[in-house]
Amino acid sequence: MFPSVTKGEEYSAGFAPARFLRRRSRLYALIVLILLLIPAILLALSIGSTDIPFSTTAKILLSKLPFVSFSPTWSGPVETAIVDIRLPRILLAAIAGAALSVAGATYQGLFRNPLADPYLLGVAQGAGLGAVVGFMLHLGWGGWGLGLVSVLAFLGALSAAFFVYYIGRVGRTLPMTTLILAGVAVGAFLSAITAYLMITSGDSLHGIYSWLMGGFSSPKWVQVEVILPFAAVGIFVICLYGRHLNVMQLDEEQAQQLGINVELTKRVLLLAATLITAVAVCFGGIIGFVGIIMPHALRLVWGPDYRFLLPMAAAAGGIFLILADLLARTVLAPQEIPLGIITAFFGAPFFIYLLRQRKRAVF
């Protein structure tokens, strides 16, 4: 149909379609966001109960690389503080932030609904129930240093999601509206059970509340080793389906008529998004706001193309949660504020500001 179209053809009157794609500006923005992770990590590592100069922090980190050696100009306790205490915590925050943002963007794309967030399919309620049961069982079972609470939270999150998926299916298809309704129903049911257990359990309540509101107050390296592969693989797979998500912003009928295997795409994305949400939640508790608001903020600035939005969400979500965690442990030092409070308190006004800058449709 277009036999005359060849590679190097000129356009009339200097028309340049590349600017409609904004490919280069979005790519630069993505690279910048990824690079910003480094100063964010350095900043968060250096500030805390004792402030450590950036240069020292940088040197300590670099000395951990296999082919670099410095003669240490810092003391042992400083190195312990940076490497064993702060670094795992910051990495957990970064990974959880990335996972929740990407999951939120994915759900918004799959459900074509700007209100979708990673906890839509009962994941949060399942994790909450698992955590409460874990607290109640009160065993200090140190299986791989993970703790009963985290394991049960993870299992609870995944079980809830799979149950929702199971009852939301219609034949061989996965209608999105049925899935949402199933998620609401299952979530409400699990919340009810959780609330009942909390009310009737008396003493162990205190720890549960702060877990539920999110935070990384007892970070361990083993947690990073568990969460990182799941989150990395999940986020990577989701990013591969960026174009599919774009085309699925049309309705499913059009997407199929454009060659997208809609049912397969839905299943892969749902599975990956649920998985990364579950790992984020099982160590960090239920951190709200990041999953729903980060994708919107990015869309406001750089548009809705999921091929860029998804990796940007990972980087920006990581940075955001690193900084939020920094605030959580420094604002009211030595007391720690739950992370969920920080994310909502600082994130919401920023988002309102962004909304007022742009008047056009963003979704």
Partner 1 sequence: MSRLQLENVTLAYGERVVLKGISFEVRPGEILGLVGPNGCGKSTLVKGITRVLPLRSGQVFLDGRDIARMSIAQIAQIVAVVPQSPTLPEAFTAFEIVLMGRTPHLGFLRYESQRDVEIVVRAMEMTHTLSLAGRRIGELSGGERQRLIIARALAQEPKIVLLDEPTAHLDINYQIETLDLIATLCDQQGLTALVALHDLNLAAQYCHRVVMISEGRIHAEGTPREVITAQNVREVYGVQVCVYPHPLNNLPATLITAKGNGKKLVDGDRSGGI
Chain residues binding partner 1 by CB under 8 A are 1-2, 4-7, 9, 11, 15, 17-21, 112, 240, 243, 246-247, 249-251, 253-254, 256-261, 299, 303-305, 360-363
CA-based R_g, the chain, Å: 22
Which amino acid would we find at residue 23?
R
Nearest to residue 215, comparing CAs of 122, 260, 292, 281?
A: 281
Please say which residue, 206 or 360, places its beta carbon nearer to partner 1: 360
4 HSE (CA, 13 A, CB side): 3
Q: How far is the CB of 346 from partner 1 (least distance, A)?
A: 26
Note whether 300 and 24 are within 8 A (CB). Answer: no
Please say which residue, 80 or 254, places its beta carbon nearer to partner 1: 254
Q: How far is the CB of 61 from partner 1 (least distance, A)?
A: 34
Q: How far is the CB of 125 from partner 1 (least distance, A)?
A: 30
Strands (E), the chain: none
Please say which residue, 247 or 344, places its beta carbon nearer to partner 1: 247
Note whether 334 and 49 are within 8 A (CB). Answer: yes
What is residue 209's three-state secondary structure? helix
Please say which residue, 164 or 255, places its beta carbon nearer to partner 1: 255
Q: How far is the CB of 244 from partner 1 (least distance, A)?
A: 9
Structure tokens at 87: 């670094």
Please say which residue, 17 or 140, places its beta carbon nearer to partner 1: 17
Kindly report the backbone phi and psi dihedral angles of residue 87, in degrees, each rounded to the nearest multiple of 5, phi listed first: -60, -45
256: exposed, middle or buried (Cβ count in 10 Å: 0-12, 13-18, 19+): middle
Q: How far is the CB of 59 from partner 1 (least distance, A)?
A: 40
Please say which residue, 135 or 308, places its beta carbon nearer to partner 1: 308
Note whether 149 and 134 are within 8 A (CB). Answer: yes
Q: How far is the CB of 91 from partner 1 (least distance, A)?
A: 29
